Amino acid sequence: MMDEFVSVVEIFILTCEDASHLGGPMGTEYTTHMFSKPFASLESAQRFAEKYSDDHGGLASKEMKWTKDWYRERWAEDASKFIFVIKKDEVLS
């Protein structure tokens, strides 16, 4: 019997939410999950989010500010009508 080797691979999950219903009276605001998409690198996830925002009437990519905090790898601050969050995860390969 051959031993199988398992490796751990990092992936980055980009999540996009529709934020167009924020800013109303308290208790009426909400976001809607639009999609989650895996990427092999943080940079490719950011590029996809920036292009998606450009193509769908969000904040221009050059104006997006990416921030890192304790539980998210990156998130886009002031992303106009979208909220983008990128989280790092590990999968077995």
Q: What is the dihedral of CA 4, 40, 12, 66, to 10 degrees?
A: 160
Which pLDDT does position 1 carry in this prediction?
A: 52
Which pLDDT does position 40 carry in this prediction?
A: 96
Q: In what order do the strands lie in the sheet containing 74-77? A: 32-39, 8-18, 82-92, 74-77, 65-67
Instruction: Round to whole Å and give the CA distance between 86 and 12.
Output: 6
Task: Locate 32 and state its tokens.
Answer: 């809607």
Three-state secondary structure call for residue 76: strand
Which pLDDT does position 60 carry in this prediction?
A: 75
Per-residue pLDDT of the chain (93 residues; tens, 9 = 90+): 555 778 989 999 999 999 888 888 888 988 899 999 999 999 999 999 999 988 988 777 777 888 888 777 788 866 678 889 999 998 888
Specify the pTM.
Answer: 0.81
- Return the CA Rg of the chain: 16
